[in-house]
Structure 1
C-alpha cells in the first residue's frame, strides 16, 4: 500500500493515487480471472473443481465430504451427457427438431423439446422416445471409445450396465466415484476425447445453460438426481484456455435438483437463468 506524508509530498501523493484510480477504472471486468470465491461446504456436500487459466497450469481442488471420494454412486442423469454424444455421433437426431414430451417434473408439460431442451430439463420421455433409433450397441461403442467406465472401481463392463429403457435416466447399473464423474465432464472442455471439431461444437451447444455477463463467460451444465444423490456439473468458460469446471454432489436429505443448480451459480458468481 502507498503511504504519503503531508506537506510537500502531498501533491505528488494525490497525483499518483489519481493515476492508480484511473487505471483501475479502465481495467475491463472481463480481465478478471475465473477463480472461485472461498468455498465452504456442509457435511453432506462434495465439490470438485478443475481450473485452467491462460498461461498457467491446470489446478484441481476438492472441498467438503471427502469420504464420498471413496464410494461409488449412480451418475444419475449426468449419464445423458454421453447418451447425447452418441446420438450426435451417429446422426440419430436433428438437434433442433422438437418432440412433444410429458415429463411430470418439467414445467408446462407436455411441451415441445429439442435436444438442448431435453438435457436442460433432463427429460426422460425425450430420450426414451429417441433411443430405439440409436440402440444399446451403438451407445456402448461410444461409452467404450471415450473410456466412460475405465475408472470404475468395480471393473464394470460397458455391456453390463443395461437394465431397461427406463434405466436410461440414470445409467442403469453404472456406479462411479465422484472423481470419475468429474473427470469425464472435464475432458469435454479439455478436448480430451479426440473428437472432431464439428461434433464437439454440436455437443457443447446441447450442454449450454446461460450467458454469465458478469464474468464475460458462458455456462454449460448437467443435473442429476437419483438414489439420494443430487449432482450438478457446471463449466464456466471464457475461452478454450480459460475456464473452470465444477462437480457438485449433495447427499443431504433436504437436497434438491433446484437447490444444487442454485449452489453452482452461487459458486460461479453468475445469475441463475429461468428454470421454467
Structure 2
C-alpha cells in the first residue's frame, strides 16, 4: 500500500475521478514493442507526449484541453529540475549528502534527504537550505544557457524572475506555456543542452522515480503544484535512443499532486512505487 500526503483527495478518489470524467478517446500511442496504451483525457487535463525511437522523434502529440496551450502557467516545482542542474554543474552540492528537512507534506517528516530524495518528495526546505551554496547569479547563468525563459509571452527576463527564497519552490515570477515546459523536459533525455556526459548522467540519477519491468524501462519524473496547476513530467526510458516523454497538466478544481502521479502511471502501465 502507499499513501499520498499532498492534495485534498485520496489516491483512490483521484484515480476514479480521472476514469469517470473522461470524454475523448484516442487511438494507441505506441508501437507494440514499447507501450501500447491509449489516452483518454478529461476536459480539464492536457497531456503532451513525445516518443523517440532510434534517437529520432517518432511522434509528438497533444491530448485534451487544447485551450491550455495558449496560456502561460507557473512551472511550479518542475522548476526545481533546473535548480538541481545548476547545483550539479557548479559543484555546489554533494548529491549523497543528507540534510534533515521538516516539510509537512513529506511522509515521516522530519527526515534526512539526499538530492534525489529532495526531488522525489519535492522538498522545499532542502533547497532553501542548500541554495546559499549556489546563489542566484549562478542559477541565472544556467537558466540563460539552457534557454529556459526563451519565448516567454510574459517577457520575464532572467534577472527579474526572483521573488524571494521561498519562491524557489515554484520559480518565482516565471510563467511558461505547457509546450515550453514540455520541451525543456524532453531535452534532458535527448541531451539537447549539450552538457557533459558526467553532468547529464548525474542529473538523470536525481530524477529517477522507479523501475518499470512491465515496459522494460525506467521512469524519471518531477511533480509540481502551484496556482491551481497540477503537473507531472515523466519519462519512460528504455535506452538512450528509445524513450517516451510525458507532460501532464491538470487544472481541475478537484485536481491534486497525487492525481497527476497516478495518471502518469496509469498511462504508462507501470506499477506505482512506494512513496513513503
How high is the TM-score relative to the length of structure 1?
A: 0.87
Partner of 2:101: 101
Secondary structure of the corresponding residue to residue 58 of structure 1: strand
Superposition deviation, residue 153 in structure 1? 1.6
Check 1:162–1:42 CA distance in 2 against 1; reply closer, same or farther (3 A cut). same
5 Å matches for 1:75-224?
Answer: 75-224=75-224
Q: CA-atom RMSD, angstroms?
A: 1.2
Check 1:68–1:97 CA distance in 2 against 1; reply closer, same or farther (3 A cut). same
Give the Cα separation in 2 of the matches to 1:153 and 1:275.
36
Check 1:251–1:57 CA distance in 2 against 1; reply closer, same or farther (3 A cut). closer
Check 1:73–1:56 CA distance in 2 against 1; reply closer, same or farther (3 A cut). closer
Superposition deviation, residue 255 in structure 1? 0.7
Superposition deviation, residue 35 in structure 1? 3.8
Check 1:185–1:123 CA distance in 2 against 1; reply closer, same or farther (3 A cut). same
User: Is the contact made by 1:35 and 1:51 (CA closer than 8 Å) also made in structure 2?
Assistant: no
Superposition deviation, residue 57 in structure 1? 4.2
Give the Cα separation in 2 of the matches to 1:59 and 1:149.
25
Superposition deviation, residue 34 in structure 1? 2.5
How high is the TM-score relative to the length of structure 2?
A: 0.87
User: Is the contact made by 1:36 and 1:267 (CA closer than 8 Å) also made in structure 2?
Assistant: no
**Higher percent of residues as helix:** 1
Check 1:56–1:116 CA distance in 2 against 1; reply closer, same or farther (3 A cut). closer
Partner of 1:16: none
Superposition deviation, residue 152 in structure 1? 1.0
Give the Cα separation in 2 of the matches to 1:260 and 1:39.
14
Kindly indicate whether residue 255 of structure 2 is the aligned counterpart of residue 239 of structure 1.
no
Check 1:213–1:165 CA distance in 2 against 1; reply closer, same or farther (3 A cut). same
Partner of 1:267: 267
Superposition deviation, residue 151 in structure 1? 2.4
Give the Cα separation in 2 of the matches to 1:84 and 1:270.
26
Superposition deviation, residue 54 in structure 1? 2.3
Partner of 1:26: none
User: Is the contact made by 1:34 and 1:244 (CA closer than 8 Å) also made in structure 2?
Assistant: no
Give the Cα separation in 2 of the matches to 1:98 and 1:221.
21
Unaligned runs of 5+ in 2: 1-30
Give runs of ≥4 in structure 1 deviating > 6 Å.
Answer: none
